[in-house]
Structure 1
């Protein structure tokens, strides 16, 4: 699926997880880009959440994005864990599109024990919003997709409490020409913190998406927010 400009997808419940997404593309003529997201219900009651970013934008990046997103969906539905999913995507990209590079982060949430098992491929950290504030999750090691076919992707596990939110995003959300990307991540965390502080519980997810700043207008951008209920 090619993501269109200002594509806002709201899902009330994916196996017990509320999801909101905002995606924007830089190529306003072709109206497609290289960023993608995934929020799918898995057999057995789990949920796969992910975002990814193919280098560049426009039709070429979008074509690679479609391949990666479709493969991620198949692997997740087949029961593969996040680290195995990224390993398979990496091998596929190295074989089919050796000139392309992509980053991604994906997590499998298990409502039964409220745990998120996640892995990353050269991607920015997941933000976790709690009653105490907004901060990045620990980043397990994992290089970008398409660099080394033998790369391995480690996993991390975190337990989520009721009322906590997760945010996955691409660099177009937080990147600014005149500042380090780490500062952009801190700015996004502050936007989320303010939106949560001023919102009623049932409105926090949508307000956080609506009030999060747009980073680099010359790059594709995707922001996914998830709230286990």
Structure 2
């Protein structure tokens, strides 16, 4: 998985790992977003269109662009996911996707987020690694009337947030929740021995791609 670290985005350091299953096409259905928003907030998001190759990538591009546009217009995470859901439900053929979308306010370090059938956000603190409580939200593309609850959490100084797709944690020989716990354990061990300024890079570097036959995306964010 290729790794990249970016400069601060509105006071938040971000980094990503990304890999595609279809190496010939070099595109996939997973996506991430880290963009500055008006007023000083930062949009953090990860999504996963079911399937591989160019068809999944085409849908991914549309969802990613729509998410960015709605966030820049000031919509909240739950409202954004509801709009993406209606967009997929209007298609003549069934297209499903999962996503997690958060608005992080560096001032006060408040994360407002929602999810659509997606895996839980991991929070890395000096005390360990845990999953954030998940607000209700079903997979995108199933029910046009679906609603997406919003959750709020204060991110303390020194914390890391990790968003990821199932290609990072899914393996044939274990349940998906075991894969999430495995990622949490790997990150916990890695950051415990790292210098404060290297924790984000270390967390990204320790992650191992769970399923080489699936796209994989891991996004890390660290308020500074």
The alignment's TM-score, normalised by the length of structure 1, stands at: 0.96
**Residue of structure 2 equivalent to 1:74:** 69
Q: What are the ranges of 5 or more consecutive residues in structure 2 without an aligned counterpart?
A: none
Q: Following TM superposition, where does structure 1 have runs of at least 4 consecutive aligned residues deviating by more than 2 angstroms?
A: 6-9
Which residue, 55, 79, 87 being the options, matches 1:84?
A: 79
Equivalence map 1:23-172=2 (5 Å): 23-96=18-91, 98-172=93-167
Worse overlay, 91-100 or 35-44? 91-100
For the Cα contact (< 8 Å) 2:103–2:111, is it kept in 1?
yes
**Residue of structure 2 equivalent to 1:224:** 219
Worse overlay, 12-21 or 88-97? 88-97
For the Cα contact (< 8 Å) 1:98–1:146, is it kept in 2?
no
Q: What are the ranges of 5 or more consecutive residues in structure 1 without an aligned counterpart?
A: 1-5
**Residue of structure 1 equivalent to 2:173:** 178
RMSD across aligned positions (CA): 0.9
Q: CA deviation at 1:7?
A: 4.1
Q: CA deviation at 1:195?
A: 1.5
For the Cα contact (< 8 Å) 2:3–2:204, is it kept in 1?
no
CA distance in 2, matches of 1:164, 1:97: 43
Q: CA deviation at 1:8?
A: 2.9
**Residue of structure 1 equivalent to 2:189:** 194
Aligned residue pairs: how many?
Answer: 224
CA distance in 2, matches of 1:84, 1:52: 16
